[in-house]
């Protein structure tokens, strides 16, 4: 399988609607941009034209939320075809999806729902990832998700499931450090165990985001600054795996662009310290 251009091992941000005009006009010094693939499932129009313009100045990652890799339903062929068309047009540096499900009986649920960590789910996910990679003609990155329940039928730990998917499917890993921390607190495991099980060479991207801690458990809202313990876990990940492309995700109560750039600058400083150690 040909290896396309990769994201650079620097910090980027998720490009959200309130910031598009400023990013287009000011071209701020961001390492790369990530967009939600489904927002560009169109054959033309201004949004796609803007993405094509930005693509000339920034590496672009396409991040999907609707492929439902872990669903018992068959893969949605039209969704995959649209992703393929978008990828051919944008030539992104990465294409990613979530290790979750969100469709059943032909109905699409607007959520990233958790999978049971079983051999059956593992085999299903690997088949789907194989089909997606064949259709796209390039590796897919799959992302570990936050979850608020566990299944009684789980046969392995979450980190064992994620590592097994990466090894068997031969795909890349989009390692969401905030999701690891949120799950560690909510389900009571040591996030360092998770880190230790991850295949560092397969990590092609890292996500960082903020959570809400005002309730009985942490909620992965993508609506706040990255929390101190997540920064600490990120630093540990970079020390273990080396510098990796790192994205600041912010999806609710989206703040001024300067706040996102500030968060990206913190990630960048951690990456540069790691670069210095590597050099
Ligand atoms: Fe994420």
Residue 249 Cα to ligand 1 middle (Å)? 7
Structural contact between residues 202 and 165, judged by C-beta atoms closer than 8 angstroms: no
Give the per-residue pLDDT at 5.
Answer: 75
Q: How far is CA 134 from CA 21, 90, 128, 171, 210, in A?
A: 35, 18, 10, 11, 34
pLDDT tens-digit profile, the chain (279 residues): 555 679 999 999 999 999 999 999 999 999 999 999 999 999 999 999 999 999 999 999 999 999 999 999 999 999 999 999 999 999 999 999 999 999 999 999 989 999 999 999 999 999 999 999 999 999 999 999 999 999 999 999 999 999 999 999 999 999 999 999 999 999 999 999 999 999 999 999 999 999 999 989 999 999 999 999 999 999 999 999 999 999 999 999 999 999 999 999 999 999 999 878 766
Per DSSP bridges, beta strands 107-113 and 101-104 are antiparallel
Give the per-residue pLDDT at 148.
Answer: 96
Residue 223 Cα to ligand 1 middle (Å)? 12
Give the per-residue pLDDT at 275.
Answer: 74
Residue 95 Cα to ligand 1 middle (Å)? 13
Residue 205 Cα to ligand 1 middle (Å)? 10
Give the per-residue pLDDT at 202.
Answer: 98
Structural contact between residues 165 and 129, judged by C-beta atoms closer than 8 angstroms: yes
Give the per-residue pLDDT at 276.
Answer: 80
Give the per-residue pLDDT at 215.
Answer: 87
Residue 271 Cα to ligand 1 middle (Å)? 18
Residue 183 Cα to ligand 1 middle (Å)? 13
Residue 18 Cα to ligand 1 middle (Å)? 19
Residue 139 Cα to ligand 1 middle (Å)? 18
Residue 176 Cα to ligand 1 middle (Å)? 5
Could you report how far apart the first and last alpha carbons of the chain are, in Å?
A: 30
For the residues of 166-198, what is the DSSP string, one character each? HHHHT-EEEEEHHHHHHHHHHHT--HHHHHHHS
pTM: 0.96
Give the per-residue pLDDT at 4.
Answer: 66
């Amino acid at each position: 399988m040909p290896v396309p251009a990769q994201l650079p091992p620097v910090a980027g941000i998720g490009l959200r609607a309130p910031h598009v005009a400023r990013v287009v006009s000011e071209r701020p010094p961001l390492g790369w941009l990530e967009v939600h693939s489904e927002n560009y499932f169109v054959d033309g129009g201004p949004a796609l034209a803007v993405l094509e313009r930005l693509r000339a100045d920034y590496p672009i990652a396409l991040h999907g939320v609707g492929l439902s890799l872990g669903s018992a339903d068959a893969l949605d062929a039209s969704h995959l075809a649209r992703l393929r068309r978008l990828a051919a047009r944008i030539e992104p540096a990465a294409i990613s999806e979530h290790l979750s499900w969100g469709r059943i009986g032909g109905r699409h649920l607007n959520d990233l729902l958790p999978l049971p960590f079983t051999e059956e789910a593992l085999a299903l996910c690997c088949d789907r990832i194989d089909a997606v990679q064949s259709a796209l003609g390039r590796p897919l990155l799959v992302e570990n998700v936050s979850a608020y329940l566990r299944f009684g039928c789980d046969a392995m730990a979450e980190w064992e499931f994620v590592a097994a998917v990466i090894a068997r499917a031969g795909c890349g890993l989009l390692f969401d450090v905030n999701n690891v921390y949120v799950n560690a607190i909510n389900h009571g495991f040591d996030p360092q165990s998770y880190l230790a099980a991850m295949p560092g060479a397969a990590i092609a991207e890292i996500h960082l985001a903020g959570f809400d801690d005002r309730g009985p458990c942490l909620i992965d809202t993508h609506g706040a600054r990255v929390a101190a313990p997540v920064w600490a876990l990120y630093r540990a990940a970079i020390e273990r795996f080396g510098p990796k492309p790192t994205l600041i995700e912010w999806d609710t109560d989206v703040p001024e662009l300067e706040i996102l750039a500030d968060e990206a600058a913190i990630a960048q400083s951690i990456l540069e310290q790691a670069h210095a150690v590597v050099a």
